[in-house]
Amino acid sequence: MRLAMAQISSTADPEENLATVVDRTRFAAARGADLVVFPEATMCRFGVPLGEVAQPLDGPWASRVAALADEEQIAVIAGMFTPAPDGRIANTVLVARPGRAPEGYDKIHLFDAFGFRESATIAPGGEPFVTEIAGHSVGVATCYDIRFPALFTELAHRGAQVIAVPTSWGAGPGKIDQWQTLATARALDSTCFVAAVGQALPDDPGIRGSSAPTGIGHSRLSDPFGSVIADYDSAARTDVHDIDPALTDKARSALAVLANEREFRRLDRTRHS
């Protein structure tokens, strides 16, 4: 499988960002990629009113990405925002595959941390997502999801060999180290390839200084044994990487964390308070 990671820096203009998606997807397709993974918030960066840009999966933005996937015969994974039933929006990862209707994963774990409250405007999803791309099983998680290993092992139990993690990571002391550690740890937890693709560090100092998580770059691709295949720096970059999803079978035989996993009952914490 040939997997491209497109570390871009989204603007507040969905049309401008769509043009970037078209350009980077064509770049990846020309180099034989089966799948290109863009960051969370590809449609529009954080730090602006997102309700004004949210569209359904059959709306014009996602439909244009789906048409692009058909045109270039490549799967595209990219972060966008969709309307939620409760009046908020969903932080959705669009999955567009040639010849198929667009699908979406709604982020389960919302970033209510480090002074940011994603749940104020965004409704949580509730269902893990695994689909087939180029003959292989691909799971999807989003940004803050990466701090929750149970989601990644659940994706693996559902058959995922590769997990794409579109992200717009927040800046701050130690955050790069946390991000890189978590990306590789989740590959080990799930014995999957993990393609953790972040927003590049914005050029505008005003955006970088925002409290919103607008990206730090440092996308990472790890294999099921935790070896790092690719590390990017903070700048915009798109590259294509060859991976063998069959390596998951070898890892699950040798490093049998999924087979050795044991269920446990959560403690009644009220007894220990």
Cα separation, 8 vs 122, whole angstroms? 23
- Give CA–CA dist 57/27, Å, rounded: 24
DSSP letter assigned to residue 265: P
Check residue 252 and report its DSSP letter.
H
Report the C-alpha gap between 187 and 192 in whole angstroms: 5
Maximum separation of any 2 CA atoms in the chain, in Å: 60
Residues acting as catalytic residues: 40, 107, 143
**Which pair of structure tokens corresponds to residue 62?**
């996602």
Looking up tokens 């798109």 gives: 238
Q: In whole angstroms, give the CA distance from residue 55 to residue 65.
A: 13
